[in-house]
Amino acid sequence: MASKLLNFGSKLFKKTTQLIINGAHNNRRSASTSARNWIEKHPKLLAFGTLTGAAGLLMFALDVSVEASSDLVHPPAQNWGHKGLLSAIDKEGVRRGYQVYKEVCSSCHSLQYIAYRNLAGVCLTEEEAKAEAEGITVQDGPDEEGNYYDRPGRLSDYLPRPYANEELGRSANNGAYPPDLSYIVSARKGGEDYVFALLTGYCEPPAGFALREGLYFNPYFSGGAIAMGKLIDNEVVSYADEEVAPSASQLAKDVVTFLVWASEPEGDLRKILLIKVTLISTFLIGITYYIKRLKWSALKSRKIFYLPELQEKASKAASKAASEAASSKNDNCKK
């Protein structure tokens, strides 16, 4: 594919260069001589411009082809509360989403970049996070004798993987390997809208759509056939808060909120830092502009003139003062 693109780019460059040079030669009467000379003297710059334009057109065509893809339904935009510069992520939703992940998703999908210390203060208290970490067994070592040993988990340990290796995961899921969910929201086009639509979009396949055994129909998945079954359903998880109904859409919303947080645990801190930097920079820029106007306005607006008459007059006055000083000195010496 890369070689085809390079060949296409080289052919397009040659044809464009030839057309421009031929056009410049054929229209000598109307075109300016400087423009023709510039084209002939700067072939590298012309080549760079041609390749840049071709690359831009290619990327635009690929993006349009993805947007207009017919093998999946594009997810509708949802009104997420954490979007926006002044909006923080829903911590209660993150806690409920972690419960959904732990009870439903963790049996197949991993979160290999999230440690138990990340959960403390957000999804769990520090004591709860320590208790959950101690519930797993981690192989550590080697010790002083060079042997590996098992120990209880710590806050610094990462969440365990459901499968020891990829081959074991594929064999347990009909050849499909469940992806890691640490950055799944950032890695999929559509973000949280796509993940929410995928979790709630299972339905019966249309007439004439053939599904292999072990696959399920989901119009939001490319191709329509997905190996993951419908796991998010009404009341598959019981919330401690009785005011929140564990419906399928609520469970999907909460687990997507948790995955948004997992993809960027420091997202709220970055927003706060951006607000602080913006406010401080605005204040400092205002002071800098005021000092610049105050200190440099006189230097920038001054004018220096050269007047020979004034210079000659000043030189005569200086020579006269020097002669008078010399004569007064001689008179003092005579006395």
At 64 the pLDDT is 59
At 14 the pLDDT is 63
- Cα 43 to chain centroid, rounded: 36
> 131-135 contacts: CB < 8 A, separation 24 or more?
133/157
Are the C-beta atoms of 262 and 182 separated by less than 8 Å? Answer: yes
- Choose between 27 and 94: higher pLDDT: 94
The CATH H-level (homologous superfamily) assignment of domain 91-114+158-265 is Cytochrome c-like domain (1.10.760.10)
At 319 the pLDDT is 86
Q: Average of pLDDT values for 73-95?
A: 90
Q: How far is CA 78 from CA 32, 168, 190, 240, in A?
A: 56, 36, 10, 26
Are the C-beta atoms of 218 and 224 separated by less than 8 Å? Answer: yes
Global pTM value: 0.70
Q: Average of pLDDT values for 282-288?
A: 93
Domain ranges of the chain: 2-67, 91-114+158-265, 270-322
What's the rounded Cα separation, in Å, for the pair 237 and 111?
Answer: 20
Partner residues linked to 137 by β-bridges = 152
- Choose between 155 and 8: higher pLDDT: 155
Name the 3-class secondary structure at 216: strand
Please provide the DSSP assignment of 223-291 as one string. Answer: TSEESS-----TTSS--S-TTS---HHHHHHHHHHHHHHHH-TTHHHHHHHHHHHHHHHHHHHHHHHHH
- Cα 241 to chain centroid, rounded: 35
At 2 the pLDDT is 43
At 155 the pLDDT is 93
Q: What are phi and psi of 270, to 5 degrees?
A: -65, -40
Confidence of residue 285 (pLDDT cuts 50, 70, 90): very high
Nearest to 283 by CA among 295, 275, 271, 293: 275
Residue with tokens 């970055």: 270
At 294 the pLDDT is 84
Mean pLDDT, the chain, rounded, equals 83
Are the C-beta atoms of 114 and 182 separated by less than 8 Å? Answer: yes
Confidence of residue 68 (pLDDT cuts 50, 70, 90): very low
**Residue 123 in marked binding region:** no
**Residue 105 in marked binding region:** yes
What's the rounded Cα separation, in Å, for the pair 223 and 226?
Answer: 8
Q: What tens digit of pLDDT does each residue of 157-179 get?
A: 999 999 989 999 998 888 889 99
Q: Would you say residue 24 has pLDDT above 50?
A: no
As a whole-number percent, the residues of the chain with pLDDT over 70 amount to 82
At 50 the pLDDT is 82
Q: Please list, in sequence order, all residues whose beta carbon lies within 8 angstroms of the beta carbon of residue 155, skipping any fewer than 6 positions away.
A: 115, 116, 117, 120, 126, 129, 130, 133
Confidence of residue 242 (pLDDT cuts 50, 70, 90): confident
Bridge-based pairing state of the strands 149-152 and 216-217:
unpaired
- Cα 32 to chain centroid, rounded: 46
- Cα 17 to chain centroid, rounded: 37
Nearest to 133 by CA among 107, 101, 106, 159: 159
First to last CA, the chain: 108
At 46 the pLDDT is 75
What's the rounded Cα separation, in Å, for the pair 240 and 244?
Answer: 9
Residue 327, number of CB atoms within 10 A of its CB: 10
